[in-house]
Amino acid sequence: MRDVAVVGVGETAFGEHWEKSLRDLSVAAGVAAIRDAGIEGADIEAMYIGNMSGGRFAGQEHLAALAADQSGLVGIPSTRVEAACASGGLAFRQACLAVASGRYDIVIAAGAEKMTDLQTVDVTTTLMGAGDQEWEGWLGMSFPGLYALMARRHMYEYGTTKEQMALFSVNGHKNAVLNPNAQFRFEITVEDVLKSALVADPLRLLDCSPITDGAAAVIVASKDIAKKFKNPIWLLGSGQATDALALHDRKSLTSLRAAKIAAKQAYKQSRTVPEKIDVAEVHDCFSINGLIALEDLGFCGVGKSGKFIEEGNIKRGAAVSINTSGGLKAKGHPVGATGVSQIVEIVKQLRGDAKKRQVHADFGLTHNVGGSGATVVVNILGKDPIER
């Protein structure tokens, strides 16, 4: 298998794009990535696009062909990738595997979602398609409800508090202020979170990621090609795993087994350990998932994430800078685009291009979760390829 690097990144602003369609957003992100790489569209040999539910959100299926068509790339193989909210991270992984296999030298990985055209109740119903319809959805369960169960159990087993969960959202919003592409560019306090509307006890509105439109794209190249670029960022390790779809079939409500397996794979491939990770984009669809991620990824001990956050360990420049982009909570969560956008942020940090939110970083990690944890993709990137 060949080494693979990211040589170009691009994304749209995340938010409510009332005058833009799914195709508009997809093309804008792709063009931005191509321009950032300094290549021509004709150089791209294949495309992978992550999307959760274009059919229900925007009435548009067959997105792989649409993306190739609207990007002027008709003729190349184009593949849609679906893994719920992990669709983007998996599209990136598939693109990297395609290049690493030796079949292609330059591939584009993208993710896009247009969510705001539906009413909130319809968005909630669509998102619940990522859960178990027979045992969860038809009984009235939603993802806020599922993650609320996880939060309750974490609080019961480890003494985690609402204030500690709120601090994760506070951190994301503080970082989002410095990100021009973030949906919510304002700071919040713990008190703001605790006074916000109750969604599913104990989760409140400011514990929850928003409904978002947006797209992101990256250009992936083989080692020989990547070395010709000014500042390639290398994929050092990538892991993917699955777990039971329904929450009641899991071995634990306070840990995502798939995340731990995927992280173990990525750490082993990259020859790194959690202590070496300087910056990480983790999947905080709800604040409790941010806490669980810190434990599953090995940044702190089991049940210790609340205290870890209280001690300031996730702030920019601390033990591990978490969600410098603002994360899903404040940057936004256009579900199919999120995983690719996480890659965009880590690449910018490793390049030194993150401007006011820049931290010192040699190694970065992305953690992208589908549903309540049935699919997880973990990627580790670095400034230099591994010596093999």
pLDDT at 79 > cutoff 90: yes
Residue 163 shares a structural domain with residue 257: yes
pLDDT(262) > 80 = yes
> What pLDDT, in 10s, does the model give residues 129-173?
999 999 999 889 999 999 999 999 999 999 999 999 999 999 999
Catalytic choice (17, 85, 96, 208): 85
Which among 193, 226, 259 is the end of a domain?
A: 226
pLDDT of 333 strictly over 70: yes
Domain that holds residue 349: 131-209+237-382
Count the neighbouring beta carbons within 10 Å of the beta carbon of residue 274: 16
Q: For the chain, what is the largest distance between any 2 Cα atoms, rounded to a whole number of angstroms? A: 56
The reply to whether 48 and 188 lie within a common domain is: no
Model pLDDT for residues 144-154, shown as the tens digit of each residue:
999 999 999 99
For residue 1, the model assigns a pLDDT of 59
Q: Let me know if residue 51 belongs to a domain.
A: yes
Quick check: 246 and 149 in contact, CB under 8 A?
A: no
pLDDT at 306 over 80: yes
Q: Which residue type, as a one-letter code, is found at position 259? A: A
Q: Is 208 a catalytic residue?
A: no
Q: Which of 16, 113, 136, 86 is nearest to 281 (CA)?
A: 86
Which H, E and C letters describe the chain, residue by residue?
A: CCCEEEEEEEECCCECCCCCCHHHHHHHHHHHHHHHHCCCHHHCCEEEEECCCHHHHHCCCCHHHHHHHHCCCCCCCEEEECECECHHHHHHHHHHHHHHCCCCCEEEEEEEECCCCCCHHHHHHHHHHHCCCCCCHHHCCCHHHHHHHHHHHHHHHHCCCHHHHHHHHHHHHHHHCCCCCCCCCCCCCHHHHHHCCEEECCEEHHHECCCCEEEEEEEEEEHHHHCCCCCCEEEEEEEEEECCCCHHHCCCCCCCHHHHHHHHHHHHHHCCCHHHCCEEECCCCEHHHHHHHHHHCCCCCCCCHHHHHHCCCCCCCCCCEECCCCHHHHCCCCCCCHHHHHHHHHHHHHHCCCHHHCCCCCEEEEEEEECCCCEEEEEEEECCCCCC
Distances (CA, A) of 235 to 5, 22, 232, 378: 6, 28, 10, 11
Pairing state of beta strands 279-281 and 46-50?
A: unpaired
Same domain, 114 and 11: yes
85 assigned to active site: yes
Pair 178, 287 in one domain:
yes
- Tell me the per-residue pLDDT of 360-383, one tens digit each, with 9 for 90 and over: 999 999 999 999 999 999 999 999
My answer on whether 163 and 280 are in the same domain is: yes
Residues 57 and 17 in one domain: yes
pTM: 0.98
Q: What is the pLDDT of residue 2?
A: 83
Mean pLDDT of 268-293: 98
Mean pLDDT of the region 311-325: 97
Residues 136 and 36 in one domain: no
Q: Between residues 334 and 54, which one has the greater pLDDT?
A: 334
Q: Kindly state whether residues 218 and 263 are assigned to the same domain.
A: no
- Indicate if 57 and 180 belong to the same structural domain: no
Q: What is the mean pLDDT of residues 192-204?
A: 98
Give the separation between CA 271 and CA 108, rounded to whole angstroms: 26
- 95-108 mean pLDDT: 97
Q: Residues of the chain with pLDDT > 90: what percent? A: 95
Question: How many domains would you assign to the chain?
Answer: 2
Average pLDDT for residues 300-307, to the nearest whole number?
Answer: 98
Considering the candidates 173, 283, 333, 367, report the single residue annotated as catalytic. Answer: 333
Task: Tell me the average pLDDT across 186-200.
Answer: 98
CATH number for the domain harbouring residue 338: 3.40.47.10
* Res 388: pLDDT: 65
Average pLDDT for 201-218: 98
What is the pLDDT averaged over residues 290-297?
A: 98
Indicate if 144 and 180 belong to the same structural domain.
Answer: yes
Confidence of residue 71 (pLDDT cuts 50, 70, 90): confident
Q: Which two tokens stand for residue 329?
A: 């909570």
pLDDT band at 387 (very low <50, low <70, confident <90, very high): confident
Sign of dihedral through CA atoms 138, 204, 165, 323? positive
Nearest-angstrom CA–CA distance, 136 and 65: 33
Average pLDDT over residues 262-267: 98
pLDDT value at position 141? 93
Cα distance from N-terminal residue to C-terminal residue, the chain: 11
For the chain, give the percent of residues with pLDDT over 70. Answer: 99
- What is the crossing angle of helices 87-100 and 338-351, to 10°? 60
Do 164 and 198 belong together in one domain?
A: yes
pLDDT at 198: 98
Residues 289-312: what's their mean pLDDT? Answer: 98
Binned at pLDDT 50, 70 and 90, residue 386 comes out as: confident
Per-residue confidence (pLDDT) for residue 114, from 0 to 100:
96
Q: Per-residue pLDDT averaged across 105-119, rounded?
A: 96
Q: Is residue 193 part of a domain?
A: yes
Residue 101 and residue 176 in one domain: no
pLDDT at 295 over 80: yes
